[in-house]
Amino acid sequence: MKNLKGYIFDLDGTVYLGKQLIEGADTIINSLLDEGKKVLFLTNKTIESRHRYVEKLNGFNIKVSLENILNPTLTLIDYLRGQHPDATLYVIGEQPVKDELALAGFREGMTPAEVDVVVLSWDRNFHYDHLNFAYQSIKMGAMMIATNPDRTCPVEVGDVPDCAGMIGAVEAVVGRKIDVQIGKPSILTINAALKILDLKPEECVMIGDRLETDIRMGIEAGMKTALVLTGITTEEDLRGTVWTPDYVLPSIKGLLPEKMT
């Protein structure tokens, strides 16, 4: 693994849990940067802005900047600019994703008839009015785009429901699946990450705590993969999985050269 040029890290459950840095994460990441490795943090989480991630990582003494962060909102903006540049949106999501979309020039519709795209993101204040507005918009022809498929998000005391709850509610009432999924393991995210790193898949490793997103994405992209057991996935989950990582590590500390084989 030490011969690879690009290291793509998940954040929650891999580098930290909530406000708690996972032991050794700062040392590992700063060492890679000092060696001239390209490092990208790839999160499916949309309830914090990219600027906030930089502040958080810097607060953990991890020396990164905005260009080291890729979140689903950035990939979504690129997708919309390419495929639906004039789309009017209805966003189920928290303020950071709404703010980033507004800064990118996208307008949010005031009535279902105005909406071209319903964006489904993690929203801890999701309620019936959101569901009904989305339903009415989709009935009138709006497409559905989800920022990420995560069922849960790891936190310091376990895990909490994530974007899959919002997706499931809308899919259930409209009677069909979403049209586009932006975040890991989508090809849209793979392509965005490789474009930022300016590397080939075989030159990179994907490090994360989820088999169905992090490891699946890395495998499908042709990258090396390393699963850490500090987040959602347990050793028991590895039995019978179709997404078998190249490495299984107790934590990010396992990336130390003397621990790798």
Q: Which residues are catalytic?
A: 10, 12
Q: How many helices (H) and strands (E) does the chain have?
A: 8, 15
How far apart (Å, rounded) are the C-alpha atoms in residues 261 and 255?
10
Q: Which residues contact 52 (CB under 8 A, 6 or more apart)?
A: 96
**Gyration radius (Cα) of the chain, Å:** 18
224 is in an annotated binding site: no
Return the half-sphere exposure (C-beta side, CA atoms, 13 A cut-off) of residue 207: 28
Residue 42 backbone dihedrals phi, psi, to 5 degrees: -120, 105
Q: Distance from first CA to last CA of the chain, Å, rounded?
A: 8
CB 248 within 8 A of CB 227: yes
How far apart (Å, rounded) are the C-alpha atoms in residues 171 and 201?
33
Burial 38-69 (b: 16+ CB within 10 A, else e): bbbbbbbbbbbbbeebbebbeebebebeeebb
Question: Residue 180: what residue type?
Answer: V
99 is in an annotated binding site: no
Burial 91-111 (b: 16+ CB within 10 A, else e): bbbbebbbebbeeeebeebee
| Residue corresponding to tokens 């600019």 | 81
37 is in an annotated binding site: no
Known binding-site residue numbers for Mg(2+): 10, 12, 209
Annotated binding site: 10, 12, 184, 209
